[in-house]
Amino acid sequence: METFRPMRESANAQAFARISGAEPVVVDVQCAIDVVPGMSPNIILTSGAPMTWERYYGGQRAAVLGAAQYEGLAVDASDAEDKIRTGEIIIAGCHDYGCVGSLAGIYTASMPVFVVDNPVSGNRSFCNLFEGKSPFRLNYGVYNQQVKVNLIHLQNDIAPALGRVIRESGGVALSPIIKRALHMGDELHSRNTAATLLFNQAVFPALMQEARKAEASASVLYEYLSGGDYFFLRLSMAASKAASDSAHGIEGSSMVTAMAFNCHDFSIRVSGMGDEWFSAQLPPVAAKLFP
Amino acid sequence: METFRPMRESANAQAFARISGAEPVVVDVQCAIDVVPGMSPNIILTSGAPMTWERYYGGQRAAVLGAAQYEGLAVDASDAEDKIRTGEIIIAGCHDYGCVGSLAGIYTASMPVFVVDNPVSGNRSFCNLFEGKSPFRLNYGVYNQQVKVNLIHLQNDIAPALGRVIRESGGVALSPIIKRALHMGDELHSRNTAATLLFNQAVFPALMQEARKAEASASVLYEYLSGGDYFFLRLSMAASKAASDSAHGIEGSSMVTAMAFNCHDFSIRVSGMGDEWFSAQLPPVAAKLFP
């Protein structure tokens, strides 16, 4: 073991330099199928390490079945179950596709994703869009008419305008926003107020152009950008994914480059250990959350 | 003295309730002459308590002489001095006109001011506009071609568009912005980043309308709003003035309702003591600020 130490130390130093030197920039919003390498029309990605279908349960299982219907891969939940069992619909872990998932962490081919480049290391990451303030969301494991309508709204109304505005801005560097926001009370998971405001400020000139060209879409987009302080979370997730992935695959490095959970397991991936996931079952939760 | 205590306590409680209950709202941007009660074309207001002309010196004196030329009241500094001495140009303290001044604190008739209403107590305050990031500013006691051009830019380009955007927004309530900003690292004098972002967010919908109607002015205004994090300072000043003034004039109250300085004195005004100022000379400063 002693003999590995010098190699591990230098490998970890390199991994650390990659993470701390990352400069993630959001460059676009596109449908997953058009930008996520390896994505195909019959794939549904979830948060967490890849897992056999039988082990999915609860909200995440419901979200997968909903996603199959949303994507038009199945007519109902039972049809979706059948097609997953026969392999007609493939379930995979989003991290293996450069994506990072919030809760259920569902991605289907047509869903819009942020495209975040890290030019320092030449890698790219993705995150899907915040579903808004409704308590009914696919990432909460709910799929109903309201969730469907909102996902269509994100895909047809928000994503194209947001993509135009980000491209028109020449991309938006995320590290400067993240650094400032952390000094303004954000922790960038449950508090994203400052980062969302700073992002909005960065894209506002492009949003004014959008307003001149397409009044309605600019107003709808602005409502989305300012409607909840959670907007930036998906960008901080994609930025963190871009930084972490850039440190992955360094021979001899023991750095953990991904921590992820699904409905069943908590899992890690280690820089020098390839694409293998190391998982442990989640402990049972006994809590009275809503008395 | 004992006999006054109950009256003073209740008067101070009332003054405190007025200040803490104030809900200042910026409702417009207009030229001082059109909105500041008692303003007239030959008046120049300065920060601090009113003072005889002979006692003005240094930057504030230079700023007054510059303001006279800017306003077209004098052709040069010497002409301005003459007209001030003969009373053709009147110098007064801005606080006595509902205004609050930054440093030199100069107001002339044509200069634009924020109009801030406090509907809870029915009073109104004013503050002029941030001159931008240039080290040459009238409020720093500098008047030259660059300062003049910038003041004209504020008056002709920024103020009309900013007024339209604020009116179109139906006014902007300042207390909610101030409360949030104080939790985001602002102290609202030298740090106004969060408050400026929150204000910008509040007026963006109106700014998008402005962009559709008047592309150039919207871009120029946005550059001003986002160009320096100091923008909101003048609004926090006007909001504080509106809150403090609402507590002024309560019989028996010993609350200090204004603290102000000019080049010569530091002065206070007390709620129950009318419009009298109580002044002390500033101590001499011996500092090596720019070694």
**Token digits of residue B201:** 């967010």
Which is it for the CA torsion A188, A256, A269, A18, positive or negative? Answer: positive
CATH match of B13-247 with 3.90.1710.10 = yes
Q: Residue B242 — pLDDT band, cuts 50, 70, 90?
A: very high
- Measured distance CA(B289)–CA(B291) in Å, rounded: 6
Structure tokens at A54: 């039988």
Residues of B in contact with A219 (CB under 8 A): 205, 208
Show the tokens assigned to B35. 């909105």
Interface test with A, best of B168, B180, B184, B232 (most A CBs within 10 A): B184
DSSP A273: G
* Average pLDDT of the residues in A70-82: 98
> What value of ipTM does the predicted structure carry?
0.86
Section A176-185 average pLDDT:
96
Chain B residues with CB under 8 Å of A211 CB are 208-209, 211-212
> Which residues is A114 bridged to in the sheet?
A29, A127
C-alpha distance from B234 to closest chain A C-alpha (Å): 20
Mean of all residue pLDDT scores within chain B: 95
Instruction: Tell me the three state secondary structure of residue B270.
Output: strand
pLDDT, residue A6, reads: 79
- Domain residue spans in chain B? 13-247
Contact state of A222 with B204 under an 8 Å Cβ cutoff: yes
The alpha-helical segments, DSSP class H, found in chain A are: 5-21, 32-35, 58-70, 77-86, 145-153, 159-168, 174-182, 193-213, 215-227, 233-246
**What percentage of chain A exceeds 90 in pLDDT?**
89
- B193 pLDDT higher than 60: yes
pLDDT on residue B54: 96
Residue with tokens 């001149």: A212
Condensed to tens digits (0 to 9), the pLDDT of residues A88-107 reads 999 999 999 999 999 999 99
Q: Which of B210, B268, B215 is nearest to B244 (CA)?
A: B268
CA distance B97 to B115: 13
Tell me the pLDDT band of A216, cut-offs 50, 70 and 90. Answer: confident
Phi/psi of residue B39, each to 5°? -70, 145
Task: Indicate the residue type of A220.
Answer: V
8-state DSSP, B154: I
Chains A, B: CB contacts within 8 A come to 61
User: In the predicted model, is pLDDT for residue A237 greater than 90?
Assistant: yes
| B205, B212, B215 ranked by CB distance to A222: nearest | B205
pLDDT of residue B133: 86
For B11-29, write each residue's pLDDT tens digit: 999 999 999 999 999 999 9
Q: How far apart are CA A267 and CA B192, in angstroms?
A: 42
Judge whether residue B289 has pLDDT over 80. no
Structure-token pair, residue B28 = 């417009």
Contact criterion met (CB < 8 Å) for B219 and A211: no
CATH topology of domain A2-279: Enterococcus faecalis V583 fold (3.90.1710)
Are A108 and A114 in contact by the 8 Å Cβ rule? The answer is: no
Strand runs labelled E in chain B: 25-31, 43-46, 90-93, 99-100, 112-118, 123-128, 172-173, 256-261, 265-270, 277-281
Residues of chain A with a CB closer than 8 angstroms to some CB in chain B: 180, 183-185, 193-194, 197-198, 200-201, 204-205, 207-209, 211-212, 215, 218-219, 222, 226
User: What sign does the CA torsion over B160, B165, B167, B171 have?
Assistant: negative
pLDDT for position B6? 79
pLDDT exceeds cutoff 80 at B120: yes
**In a 3-state reduction of DSSP, which class is residue A92?**
strand
**pLDDT one-digit tens code per residue, A251-282:** 999 999 999 999 999 999 999 999 999 999 99
Contacts of B204 in chain A (CB under 8 A): 200, 204, 207, 222, 226
Choose the mutation target among A169, A184, A209 for the interface with B, i.e. most B CBs under 10 Å: A184
Distance between CA atoms of B138 and B136, rounded to whole angstroms? 7
Angle between helices B174-182 and B193-213 (to 10 degrees): 140
From CA B157, how far away is CA B36, in angstroms rounded?
Answer: 21
Question: Region B53-66: what's the mean pLDDT?
Answer: 97
Residue B2 is predicted with a pLDDT of 59
Minimal CA–CA distance to A266: which of A47, A45, A48? A48
The structure tokens 């923008």 sit at: B231
pLDDT tens string B67-106 = 999 999 999 999 999 999 999 999 999 999 999 999 999 9
Read off the tokens for B15. Answer: 């003054």
Q: What pLDDT score was predicted for residue A228?
A: 76
Determine the pLDDT at residue B3: 65
Buried-exposed string B244-278: b where 16+ CB fall within 10 A, e elsewhere: bbbbbbbebbebebbebbbbbbbbbbbbbbeeebe
